[in-house]
Amino acid sequence: MPTPKVSFEFFPPQTLDASFRLWETVQVLAPLKPGFTSVTYGAGGTTRKLTHDAVETIHKHYGLNVAAHLTCVDATKAETKEIIDSYADVGVTEIVALRGDPPKGADRFTAHPEGFASSVELIDWLAEDGRFKIRCGAYPEPHPEAADPMADVRWLKRKIDAGATSAITQFFFEAETFFRFRDACVKEGITAPIIPGILPIQSWKGAKAFANRCGTSIPAWVEEAFEAATRDGREQLLATAMCTELCDSLIAGGVEDLHFYTLNRPDMTREVCHALGITPDVVLENVA
């Protein structure tokens, strides 16, 4: 089985302890030589400055290619221009362009009157700027706001046509979910790479809450397996095995890239990568 390329998502720390955890995570995973790493915004763009600081530090001190998240939430076009200028100034060349989640307390996204109304508008504007490789998000299962099951596929096509060169999906539990989405995208004429987003489950309770917020369906067998594993104290063992099996199935189905949502906790991601044949020695040998 071929060895996939990997990338990792981190989030910016808001406390001293969280800072230590982020840098430990980067140090542990950097030797796996990811194709890129990404750094998120908080809900409503609340960690904008922290995101910038984390992006700059990871890029400068760890030599990693960083794709900075950029959203439309609560920002004017002028403010967004300042943000991308600051990224360009520190050598960042990739952006993950997203609409973004509503600010805390709001139940739906409302565009800033002097900002961008959608991710498509943001991507089109970034493409015209011309300084960045643009990645975007994709939903293999219907987004909570989607009008119909094909709406996310059509919307992804618009983002690709606007200038995004690849898409990273929301997480999912079964490989068939991704394959169905990929097939639908091909039928819609989407030829850009679609990278599956992988969530190593650190907490089943947290993963369920996250799935419910973003519209990820939870198969009955997954729910039953975690209930049993939690009772027996085997939750992490099950999570690692399920994540590895999911990645194996995706690779067997032709997937060449995997994007891990690390949650700034490196151990399970590293363990899964090692099981897939991605180790520092192998990667460094391939680079040489």
The catalytic site residues sit at 9
Enumerate residues 6+ apart whose C-beta is below 8 A from 13.
Answer: 19, 21, 22, 50, 54, 264
**What is the spatial distance between Cα 2 and Cα 256, in angstroms, rounded to a whole number?**
8
> ∠245-251-255 over CA atoms, to 5°?
135
CA-to-CA distance for 112 and 117, rounded, in angstroms? Answer: 7
Pairwise CA distance, residues 21 & 13, whole Å? 8
Please state, in angstroms and as integers, the Cα–Cα distance from residue 279 to each residue in 27, 34, 35, 129, following that order: 14, 11, 14, 37
Q: What is the largest CA-CA distance in the chain?
A: 55
Which stretches of the chain are DSSP H helices? 16-29, 48-62, 77-89, 119-129, 151-162, 175-187, 204-214, 220-232, 235-252, 266-275, 280-287
Quick one: residue 105, left, alpha or beta (phi over 0 = left, psi -120 to 50 = alpha)? left
Q: Give the separation between CA 150 and CA 82, rounded to whole angstroms.
A: 35
Structure tokens given for 48: 């904008």
Q: Rounded to whole angstroms, how far apart are CA atoms 83 and 70? A: 9
